[in-house]
A and B are shown apart, each in its own frame.
Chain A
Amino acid sequence: MDNLFQHYEQKLAESGIAETGATLMGVLDADLEWNRMDPLCKKLTPLFDCLTINSLLLIVPAEPYRSIIRFLAETSHGPIQPQDCETRTFLHDIPVCRDLNPAAISSCLQIRKGVVTPDYGIVTHGSVSIEQAFVSCSSICFASFVKFFSDYLSLAASGGLTGPHRRLFEKVWGLIDPMPEMDSTLLEGPFQTEFEVRTAMMEAGSATVKKRLVDSYFGNISYCCDEVLYISQTGSSLDDLEHCIDPCPLDESSCASMTASSELPAHFEVIKQTGARAILHGHPKFAVILSMDCRIADCPIKGECYRKCDRDRSVCGVPIVPGEVGSGPYGLCNTIPKALTGKSGVIVYGHGVFTSGDTDFNDPFRRLLEIENGCRREYLKRVEE
């Protein structure tokens, strides 16, 4: 169990989500085990009796998430309601509890995957594994970040900012990660063997996580070689792909890759329609934030723009398309391939960025960085304007 706790403490620290040393993790099978003894364990233990769970996670968010979440919790007057894809699909909303009262926390966790408390942090749970709690925690941080900056931009545009809000923004802006840069080139293609493909995917996946262009595992990566599309598995961490790459024959003659990423249909179509070989998908935050910055008043599809917007939109020259995860009628597989034809990057409304390359992951990775950094500069410009 100690290894499990260490693994997640390390993941939380490396992703910049949690204050080191402040995390509490409880895992229950026949007996309950905590990662460390803390007075809060006593408060949290009753949650295992009143929820159908086997794991619980309490983190004190690291900056800038701490300031952001505290602000959102104090001003939301009810659940925090981000508009990004992660929230819409998985979280639905983020309930707020004023303190760590087990009864109040429990009533929130009976209906949602996580809850925030302004003074303590984020509490999440899992019914299968602590991994669920980690993922929910990461999603809450991502969604809160996107909401904070989206709301600020919107208020800046409408002239609704207050002095304290401005000061908080300045503080938070000073605390976000520096702009990610490409330190060195990745393996050069084209790759000819399965071993080469897997090695290159693992390297590019790790680089994407290291540069914090993706939260928890919500990204995916693929490479096409010899009529087989190699793609990361659903729910796999991009920095831990060794046993998590599925080979999908393009002729669809085997379903062994049923565990492939839920974005497989989009990757498949991009490969078929554009001739690209390498595809990278991440969730860089400012690209997501700007994809949702739309000033059209009284739009007839308001509230459904994430899947129905048919306007020609772009930011920094990168097209923005609607689409939902997977293969439904509004699936990304219907919008991304067209947008990537003749382009090397596309932003999906409220969701993330897809980039592609013809030989290896150097171009897709570089493009992902360029798009995010460009969007960050553009964001500041729009705020200042």
Chain B
Amino acid sequence: MKPGKDIFGWRGKYIDIDLNAGFYEVKEHFADVLLKFLGGRGLAGHYLRNTIRLGWDDPRTPLLFFTGPLVDTPSPTSGRMTIMSKSPLTGTIGDSSVGGTFGTNLKRAGFDGIIIRGCSQFLCGVEINDGGIHIIDASRLEWLETGPCFSALAGKGSVAVIGPAAENGVLFSNIMVDRRHAAGRNGLGLVMASKNLKYITVSGTRKTRVFDPEKLKKANEDVFRLTAASPFISGKFGISRFGTGALYDLMDSRGMTPTDNFKKSKFSSAREMNAFAYKKRYGSGRTGCSGCHIRCKHIDRMGNSLPEFETMSHFSALLLNRDIGIVAEANRICNETGMDTISAAATLSCYAEISGKTLSGRNIISLLTDIAKGQGEGIELGRGSARYAESKGRSETAMTVKGQELSAYDPRGAYGMALAFAVSTRGACHLRAYPISHEILRKPVATDRFSFAGKARIIKIAEDLNAAADSLTACKFVFMAASLEEYAGVFSAVTGVETSARDLFEIGERICYNERIMNFANGFDAADDILPDRFFRKDADDSGQTARPIDKDAFLKTLENYRRVRGLTGSGRPDPETAKKLDLTLIPDNTKHG
């Protein structure tokens, strides 16, 4: 498959900005790059790999914003893009799929992506529109929270901005997009801050061309039909009606709510803090990303974002907080200051365990504020739970993988999830493989959540699928209903490149393997693919509120199987033959966690 000169879907160009020199170039992709990596996460990974052994704060380390070929077309759920760099939090590759309208505007401005290198001598913003690319003095926005920044930049199109948390060095700081959408996990906000870059705006008016609009209409109908039939997406209790918070009750009913820093798996106040309770108290407005019919983002009567599932769960059960108002306020603070809610809440729960106290609502708000402002205890907490716990000699209390905090699924309640957390290339991440789809949501079919049987290959396949989704780009949620079979039709209609589901899986596999290669170049190997010991231990707690521990031997055996299926050596080293098969090369040498 090859895109012709007359390109559809992609724009074929990206912007390469050097903030050291205040200079930019518009570049064209090499011919085969688009077909090898698609876009989004795949393309960003491709352009990151040559600098992956540099430090995250080295000016030569790029910060990448990449969209995919489906963005700015009528393809379902295609409004997303990936932001990527090296993660300050984990030292692995760091990436985030983010919604909003940034990707769509970038395509309309004529580009598939932006690469930002160097470090500006002054706090700056980058403004991109049909007319050109401008580097602007942003000193008037220094230390400003994200809300006022969005207001100040209104009218300039889509906006990506960092808040004071990033400017204060928080290792889990976000980049916020279009006010409501967080490019979370991994601390990408801090990379942006290290470049003295406060914001990027982009607007464009040139619509992306579609190869066969009629064929696309038909392919879209297949996807819409499946999403309408999906209980998770469109059902009476699905995310379209209740937002991702709909998962809150379900997870608790399955004994998978991380409670009291993962010491328990059920939260006695769950019924009072569920999505229904938020709806009653705050209203039930809906919004969503550009190009998405699911519209899972829920807003209150004033138009403010309501907490997503992960935020609802970690700022309640994980901290034993029973006040919805505190959850909503914590969510607001994280969004305004630009912090990842999962890592923020999990770091506070680690702090609570080490200090031996239950945090009050006031403690939670005050500590969050201290983290964002880089003051008091917030300075240490802003480095994340792994570093904080280590500094206190209590590493066992940090519920992290590769230094990143686990999200709101207790892995003891779903063994595929346990494996997926461990092997994720960006540290603990539920979205890389999202086995909740079959272990809990029964899609495409149900699997035994308390069994490792078959899970090594299932997780590998799901990782490949989601890597392709992040690169097309499409929302991962749509794959709870549709499959790459339907999206191959969408992709072919948009680009004119005849493609099968199998082709897309292979590209997904290449993207994942490229990430493995980059991580290994920085010293990450099999020893890093492990869960905190708490999940393997029979806890002293006898309340009946804690899930059974995972059998460590069975887990390690499944990890071994995963490495075989993924084409890694026993020690987790990428294999030259597998790399060659995927048309990749290895990166020589490695230093442990460089």
- Enumerate chain A interface residues (CB-CB to B < 8 A): 1, 27-30, 50-54, 88-90, 92, 107, 110-113, 126-129, 131-132, 135, 233-236, 248, 252-262, 264-265, 268, 324-328, 330-331
Contact = CB atoms under 8 A, between A and B. Distances in A.
Nearest to B253: A256
A330 B441 CA distance: 24
A140 B564 CA distance: 34
6 contacts: A52-B505, A128-B438, A255-B242, A256-B253, A258-B237, A258-B441
Nearest to B246: A255
B500 A111 contact: yes
Interface string B248-289: 111011000000000000000001001110000000000000
Given A128-B445, A235-B446, A324 B225 contact: yes
Contacts of B253: 256
B274 A254 contact: yes
Contacts of B222: 92
B501 interface: yes
A110 B500 contact: yes
A45 B474 CA distance: 32
Contact of A252 (B229, B232, B236, B247): B236
Given A29-B453, A52-B461, A89 B443 contact: no
Contacts of B236: 248, 252, 260, 264-265, 268, 327
A255 B443 contact: no
B276 A259 contact: no
A30 B237 contact: no
B234 A235 contact: no
B458 A89 contact: no
Contacts of A53: 461
A235 B442 contact: yes
A85 to B, nearest CB: 10
A259 B453 contact: no
Contacts of A234: 231, 442-443
A236 to B, nearest CB: 8
A258 B253 CA distance: 11
B293 to A, nearest CB: 10
Contacts of B445: 126, 128-129, 131-132, 135, 235
Contacts of A51: 502
Contact of B229 (A27, A54, A89): A89
Contacts of B213: none
Contact of A255 (B234, B275, B506): B275
Interface centre among B229, B238, B247, B456 (most CB of A within 10 A): B229
**Contact residues on B (Cβ < 8 Å of other chain), bracket:** 35 or more
B282 to A, nearest CB: 16
Given A54-B454, A54-B458, A131 B231 contact: no
Interface string B322-341: 00000000000000000000
B485 A112 contact: yes
Interface string B468-512: 000000000000000001001000000000001111011001000
Contacts of B242: 255
Contact of B237 (A129, A233, A260): A260
B232 A258 contact: yes
Interface of B: 222, 224-232, 234-238, 242, 245-250, 252-253, 271, 274-276, 438, 440-447, 453-458, 461, 464, 485, 488, 500-503, 505-506, 509, 560-561, 564-565
- Chain A CB within 10 Å, residue with most, of B236, B248, B442, B444: B236
**9 A-B pairs with the lowest CB-CB distances in the bound complex, closest first:** A328-B228, A52-B505, A30-B561, A325-B229, A110-B500, A326-B229, A255-B237, A110-B502, A256-B249
A262 B236 CA distance: 9
B501 A111 contact: yes
Contact of B456 (A27, A30, A255, A260): A30
B508 to A, nearest CB: 9
A128 B438 CA distance: 8
B502 A128 contact: no
Contacts of A1: 453
A371 B214 CA distance: 40
Contacts of A255: 237, 242, 245-250, 274-276
A327 B502 contact: no
Contacts, number: 163
A257 B393 CA distance: 43
B225 A262 contact: no
Contact of B231 (A92, A111, A252, A261): A261
A259 B249 contact: no
Nearest to B238: A258
Given A129-B447, A255-B250, A262 B485 contact: no
Given A52-B464, A112-B485, A248-B236, 19 more contacts: A27-B454, A52-B505, A54-B454, A54-B458, A89-B225, A110-B502, A111-B488, A129-B454, A234-B443, A254-B274, A258-B237, A259-B231, A259-B440, A262-B231, A264-B237, A326-B230, A326-B234, A326-B235, A328-B225
Nearest to A28: B457
A296 B219 CA distance: 28
Q: State the majority secondary structure of interface residues on B.
A: helix
Given A27-B454, A52-B502, A325 B485 contact: no
A52 B501 CA distance: 9
A113 B484 CA distance: 11
Contacts of A262: 229-231, 235
Contacts of B461: 52-54, 127-128
A122 to B, nearest CB: 17
Given A54-B457, A259-B440, A262-B230, A29 B446 contact: no
Contacts of A331: 228
A257 B458 CA distance: 25
Nearest to A249: B276
A237 B453 CA distance: 21
**Residue of B228, B464, B506 with most chain A CB atoms under a 10 A cut-off:** B228
A177 B345 CA distance: 60
A328 B501 contact: no
Given A29-B457, A30-B565, A258 B225 contact: no
Contacts of A127: 444, 458, 461
Contacts of B438: 128-129
A88 B276 CA distance: 34
B409 to A, nearest CB: 14
Nearest to B485: A111
B231 A50 contact: no
B82 to A, nearest CB: 22
Contact of A327 (B235, B245, B488, B505): B235
A340 to B, nearest CB: 18
Nearest to B506: A52
A256 B275 CA distance: 10
A273 to B, nearest CB: 15
B249 A254 contact: yes
A254 B454 contact: no
Contacts of A254: 237, 249, 271, 274, 276
B454 A88 contact: no
B401 to A, nearest CB: 22
A131 B564 CA distance: 24
B440 A328 contact: no
A330 B275 CA distance: 26
A27 B456 CA distance: 12
B501 A258 contact: no
A111 B503 CA distance: 10
A128 B276 contact: no
A154 to B, nearest CB: 24
Residue among A128, A253, A256 with most chain B CB within 10 A: A128
Contact of B443 (A235, A268, A327, A328): A235
Contacts of B247: 255, 258
Contacts of A29: 453-457, 561, 565
A112 B489 CA distance: 11
Nearest to B503: A110
B448 to A, nearest CB: 9
A258 B234 contact: no
B564 A30 contact: yes
